[in-house]
Amino acid sequence: MSAPSTVETVSTGADKAKLAVAVLLVLGAVVVFYFLGKQSLWLRLGALLALLVAGVAVFFTTEPGRQLIAYGRDSVREVKKVVWPTR
């Protein structure tokens, strides 16, 4: 057995600020959706989607976001290694 690997979390002030902005954008998306209640559905959905996409984009520029992307890529790579039985 190999020795357990240590996980070192490095969080910079910039990452914390970006995470806060991402959370505020996602929460703002919900608030704007309900704030624009009298407007057309398409405008409300457009604002919701725009703010959600912006929040996710900001999240993926942080270190936890990059780690999530790397985890997803590694997972896909591992699934491709599996020999799936045929029927």
Residue 49 domain boundaries: 17-81
pLDDT at 4: 67
Q: What is the pTM of this model?
A: 0.75
Please indicate, yes or no, if residue 44 is contained in any of the structural domains.
yes
Please indicate, yes or no, if residue 35 is contained in any of the structural domains.
yes
Please indicate, yes or no, if residue 87 is contained in any of the structural domains.
no
In the structure, what pLDDT confidence band is assigned to residue 9 with cuts at 50, 70 and 90?
low
Q: Enter the DSSP assignment of 83.
A: -
Query: Cα–Cα distance between 33 and 48 in angstroms, integer?
Result: 6
Please indicate, yes or no, if residue 2 is contained in any of the structural domains.
no
Concatenated DSSP letters for 12-75? -HHHHHHHHHHHHHHHHHHHHHHHTTTS-HHHHHHHHHHHHHHHHHHHHTSHHHHHHHHHHHHH
What are the pLDDT digits (tens) for 73-85?
A: 999 999 988 888 8
Please indicate, yes or no, if residue 76 is contained in any of the structural domains.
yes
Q: How many domains does the chain have?
A: 1
Please indicate, yes or no, if residue 47 is contained in any of the structural domains.
yes
Q: Is the pLDDT of residue 22 over 80?
A: yes
Q: Which two tokens stand for residue 42?
A: 């398409």
What are the pLDDT digits (tens) for 44-84?
A: 999 999 999 999 999 999 999 999 999 999 999 999 888 88
Please indicate, yes or no, if residue 86 is contained in any of the structural domains.
no
